[in-house]
């Protein structure tokens, strides 16, 4: 009988977190032991990280959960990607900090997330690609009934070398048939953690942050702006060109002023 208190682990959609926690995630993405098993392994800058977050907000084929402990400290990411609602399939991936991996959290997250994908998202086939050499991850997936389905030779370019990728997959039918056996086999590990997954993300009742509202409004207005610009250049190019030139000049002036703002306090 397990008399210890299980460690609380929460999977929260990235979009539901405040900006500070979203930014803290960049440190984990840049850990060496995380980057080396990613398809791209360069150091991620602030602007690139922000662009990734903004893209996620618009992509309904991808759901990214941040793994938080009971102190709301980010420990990693679990994501489902390339969601195909017609064929009811998706890809998945995860990464954790070194500390979380040493605690054996990966097995519990994998088990909980597979159940979530098949039981709550309506997915019937789950796929993943694992870079060659990551034998620990391949072995872990096979413990949870994933089967090797292919091997893409020389599929990625990393550090000047061609790298291959193992393709693994798990069907809902196969999972339901073997889930009970997996649960019994690893129950001792699962008892160490208490996993909760925040879903669905109630976008309808959630009030957007003012910055997000501005971003959405600007995106809509950019379409109007480009339509006007296209119409002006096509119908009256000689009249439109001086106006566009003036807009460009003022944009450069604004850019220079913004540069002065960034210098304040340095």
Residue 205 pLDDT level (bands cut at 50, 70, 90) = very low
- Measure the CA–CA gap between 14 and 67, rounded to whole angstroms: 9
The C-alpha angle with vertex 35 and arms to 14 and 121, in degrees rounded to 5, equals 35
- Kindly report, residue by residue over 35-55, the tens digit of the pLDDT: 888 888 889 998 889 889 888
CA atoms within 13 A on the CB side of 97: 15
Structure tokens at 49: 């990280």
Instruction: Tell me the per-residue pLDDT of 167-203, one tens digit each, with 9 for 90 and over.
Output: 999 999 999 999 999 999 999 999 999 999 999 865 5
pTM here is: 0.75
Confidence at 113, pLDDT banded by 50, 70, 90: very high
Domain boundaries, the chain: 7-197, 210-263
Superfamily in which the 7-197 domain is placed by CATH: Gcn5-related N-acetyltransferase (GNAT) (3.40.630.30)
Q: What is the pLDDT of residues 125-161, one digit of tens each?
A: 999 999 999 999 999 999 999 999 999 999 999 888 9
> What is the Cα–Cα distance from 59 to 37, expressed in whole angstroms?
24
H helix or E strand, kind and range, residue 90 = strand 89-96
What pLDDT does 186 receive? 92
Confidence check: pLDDT of 220 > 50:
yes
Q: What is the pLDDT of residue 204?
A: 47
Residue position matching structure tokens 């539901």: 16
134 DSSP assignment: -
């Amino acid at each position: 009988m397990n008399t210890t208190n299980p460690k609380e682990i929460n999977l929260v959609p990235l979009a539901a977190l405040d900006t500070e926690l979203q930014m803290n995630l960049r440190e984990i993405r840049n850990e060496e032991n995380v980057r080396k098993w990613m398809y791209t392994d360069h150091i991620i800058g602030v602007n690139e990280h922000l662009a990734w977050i903004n893209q996620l907000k618009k992509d309904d084929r991808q759901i990214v959960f941040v793994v938080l402990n009971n102190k709301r400290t980010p420990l990693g990411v679990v994501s489902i990607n390339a969601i195909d609602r017609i064929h009811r399939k998706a890809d998945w991936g995860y990464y954790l900090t070194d500390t979380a991996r040493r605690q054996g959290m990966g097995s519990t997250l994998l088990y909980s997330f597979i159940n979530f994908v098949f039981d709550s998202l309506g997915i019937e086939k789950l796929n993943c690609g694992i870079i060659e050499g990551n034998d620990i991850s391949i072995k872990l997936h096979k413990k949870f009934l994933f089967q090797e389905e292919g091997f893409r030779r020389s599929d990625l370019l990393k550090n000047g070398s061609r790298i291959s990728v193992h393709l693994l997959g798990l069907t809902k039918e196969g999972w339901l048939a073997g889930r009970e056996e997996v649960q019994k086999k690893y129950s001792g590990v699962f008892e160490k953690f208490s996993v909760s997954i925040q879903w669905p993300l109630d976008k309808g009742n959630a009030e957007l942050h003012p910055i997000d509202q501005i971003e959405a409004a600007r995106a809509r207005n950019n379409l109007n702006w480009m339509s006007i610009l296209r119409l002006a250049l096509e119908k009256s190019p000689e009249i439109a060109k001086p106006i566009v030139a003036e807009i460009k000049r003022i944009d450069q002036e604004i850019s220079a002023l913004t540069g002065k703002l960034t210098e304040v306090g340095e």
